[in-house]
């Protein structure tokens, strides 16, 4: 049996976290200017860049494909857009920020009065320097988003509005990457949305952390298989679930990765089940981190966990983020820019995901093969496994705990909580006891 890399420490030793933080940040910087949406070339260009890091597969699903109660929308692409005043000056210019266009706007080219123009402008009076991010996916419309200062200064004039965009039959594009572990058919789903234009925390930070997590996991030995999805929000997860309905029972655990670059503390949103193993593992890792954190119950509002946790699937998928969407003023505005995320925060988020995966990988349940009174450890050479005095005491105590609690009903994580012993030492103790024939792993036959 290949030894399980069960400690967050050893898992991370192989990564230079400072350098990886910088790499994630430069990936974000590269992706930032691309105008993404739920379909179109912005998504394809983004996935092509990610393919330089991980060999993800690109899927194209045709417009009109029925996916449960929805259908894949028409594909949207945009070349240019602006609003010109009568002097020919561009007062709003897509080339300066792709947030200026209402995402999914239909093409328009005509002259309008100030009053008519204002009916198509979106603005944020509370933060007058920021451009809002707005979409109109399922309602054909055109519009521009501007900072309030520009909006206020528009004079009574005739304006030329121009949006060079296409909305026609095409495809919905998403990326998928599978890292195969030893236990085939037991998967951990990591899902991130890829549909936002120039916005960093939501969602380029999730893309960056998921990509580098995928790259790292593809280089190490793993128990579970890890399926990474890079999908447009909502319609992407609905499409994936619809196309993969027969295979979802492979998903044993899952996390939605988003909002991972800001300086706020971690937030974990639990699965709909509320007591899934992933809920326990993330809670434990956050407790051990000695950092501030918050655990929120599941709610049917948020990111793609809404679809994974819909009652017809009820998959054990939670959402591990930093500051929750909507709880930071920069959310869905031009202020969610390159200065709002940092290499250090991204690195800390990646570390947190690695810690979670380390505990998931290491967590297992045993049955004590010698349950009637304590077995003789010395006779089996188990005291020789014990090194220095301090470490020796800890390992001995850990062995006693593992032996006592291993009745097939307590995982190593349950034992760590009850005994207050370190998880990695319990894992080491369990490995020795298993080698000595005192423990046997109890594999659940069905998905927990």
Interacting residues with Zn ion (CB under 5 A): 202
Nearer to Zn ion, 243 or 296 (CB): 296
Kindly state the smallest distance separating residue 302's Cβ from Zn ion, in Å. Answer: 10
- Reading the block at residue 267, the tokens are 């937030």
How would you write 9-59 as a 3-class SS string? HHHHHCCCHHHHHHHHHHHHHHHCCCCCCCCCHHHHHHHHHHCCCCCCEEE
Residue 330 beta carbon to Zn ion: minimum distance, rounded to whole angstroms: 12
| 89-108 per-residue burial string, b: 16 or more CB within 10 A, e: under 16 | eebbebeebbbbbbbbbbeb
The torsion defined by the Cα of 48, 52, 57 and 59, in degrees rounded to 10, comes to: -10
User: 406: closest CA among 418, 393, 390?
Assistant: 418
Of 187 and 202, nearer to Zn ion (C-beta) is 202
* All residues at 6 or more sequence positions from 410 whose CB lies less than 8 Å from its CB, including other chains: 365, 418
Q: Shortest gap between Cβ of 48 and Zn ion (angstroms)?
A: 22
Nearer to Zn ion among residue 196 and residue 216 (C-beta): 196
What span, in angstroms and rounded, lies between the C-alpha atoms of 215 and 363? 23
Q: Kindly tell me which of 234 and 263 has the beta carbon lying closer to Zn ion.
A: 234
Q: Supply the minimum distance, in Å, between the C-beta of residue 103 and Zn ion.
A: 11
Write down the least CB distance from residue 28 to Zn ion, Å: 15
**Distance separating alpha carbons of residues 28 and 49, to the nearest angstrom:** 11
| Helix H or strand E encompassing 245 | none
Q: Which CB, 171 or 332, lies closer to Zn ion?
A: 332
**Which residue's CB is nearer to Zn ion, number 202 or number 348?**
202
Residue nearest to Zn ion (CB): 202
CA-to-CA dists, residue 59 to 43, 177, 231, 241, 355, angstroms: 11, 11, 10, 14, 30
To Zn ion, the closest distance from the beta carbon of 301 in angstroms equals 12
Tokens of 276: 């899934």
- In the complex with Zn ion, the residue whose CB is nearer, 204 or 399, is 204
Reading the block at residue 274, the tokens are: 């509320």
Q: Tokens 């819909």 label which residue?
A: 310
CA distance 14 to 1: 21
Q: How far apart are CA 248 and CA 137, in angstroms?
A: 27
Q: Considering the complex, what minimum distance in angstroms separates the CB of residue 328 from Zn ion?
A: 12
- Cβ at position 272, least distance to Zn ion in Å: 21
d(CA 281, CA 260): 19
Distance CA 241, CA 230 (A): 13
Query: Closest distance between Zn ion and the C-beta of residue 233, in Å?
Result: 7
Smallest gap from Cβ 203 to Zn ion, in A, equals 6
Retrieve residue 170's tokens.
Answer: 């095409």
Q: Which CB sits closer to Zn ion, 202 or 428?
A: 202
Complex with Zn ion: residue 4 or 190, whichever CB lies closer: 190
Task: Determine the Cα–Cα distance for residues 415 and 142; give it in Å rounded to an integer.
Answer: 58
- In terms of CB distance, is 132 or 170 closer to Zn ion? 132
Residue with smaller CB distance to Zn ion, 309 or 438: 309
d(CA 437, CA 412): 17
Minimum CB–partner distance for residue 196 and Zn ion (Å): 6
């Amino acid at each position: 049996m290949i030894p399980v890399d069960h400690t967050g420490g050893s898992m991370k030793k192989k990564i230079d976290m400072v350098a990886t933080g910088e790499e994630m940040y430069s990936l974000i910087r590269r992706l930032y200017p691309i105008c993404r949406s739920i379909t179109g070339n912005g998504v394809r260009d983004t996935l092509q860049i990610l393919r330089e890091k991980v060999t993800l597969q690109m899927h194209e699903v045709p417009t009109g494909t029925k996916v449960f109660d929805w259908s894949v929308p028409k594909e949207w692409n945009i070349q240019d857009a602006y609003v010109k005043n009568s002097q020919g000056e561009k007062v709003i210019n897509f080339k300066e920020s792709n947030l200026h266009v209402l995402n999914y706007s239909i093409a328009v080219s005509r002259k309008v009065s100030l009053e008519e123009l204002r009916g198509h402008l979106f603005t944020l009076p509370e933060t007058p320097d920021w451009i809002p991010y707005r979409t109109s996916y399922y309602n054909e419309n055109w519009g521009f988003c501007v900072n309030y200062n520009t909006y206020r200064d528009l004079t009574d004039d005739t304006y030329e509005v121009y949006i060079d965009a296409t909305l026609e039959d095409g495809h919905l594009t998403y990326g998928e990457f599978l890292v195969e572990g030893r236990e085939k058919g037991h998967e951990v789903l990591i899902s991130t949305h890829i549909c936002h234009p120039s916005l960093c925390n939501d969602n380029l930070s999730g893309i960056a952390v998921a990509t580098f997590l995928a790259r790292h996991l593809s280089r190490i030995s793993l128990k579970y298989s890890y399926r990474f999805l890079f999908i447009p929000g909502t319609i992407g997860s609905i499409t994936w679930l619809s196309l993969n309905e027969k295979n979802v029972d492979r998903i044993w655990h899952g996390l939605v990765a988003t909002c991972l670059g800001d300086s706020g503390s971690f937030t974990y949103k639990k699965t709909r089940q509320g007591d899934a193993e992933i809920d326990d593992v993330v809670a434990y890792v956050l407790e051990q981190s000695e950092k501030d954190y918050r655990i929120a119950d599941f709610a049917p509002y948020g990111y793609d966990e809404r679809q994974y946790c819909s009652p017809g699937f009820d998959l054990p998928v939670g959402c591990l983020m930093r500051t929750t969407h909507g709880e930071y003023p920069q959310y869905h505005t031009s202020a969610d820019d390159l200065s709002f995320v940092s290499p250090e925060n991204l690195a800390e988020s990646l570390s947190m995901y690695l810690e979670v995966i380390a505990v998931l990988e290491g967590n297992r349940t045993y049955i004590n093969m010698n349950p009637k009174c304590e077995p003789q450890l010395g006779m089996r050479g188990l005291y020789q496994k014990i090194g220095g005095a301090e470490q020796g005491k800890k390992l001995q105590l850990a062995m006693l705990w593992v032996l006592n609690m291993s009745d097939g009903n307590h995982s190593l994580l349950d034992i760590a909580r009850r005994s207050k012993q370190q998880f990695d030492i319990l894992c080491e103790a369990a490995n020795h006891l298993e080698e000595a024939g005192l423990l046997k792993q109890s594999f659940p036959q069905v998905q927990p």
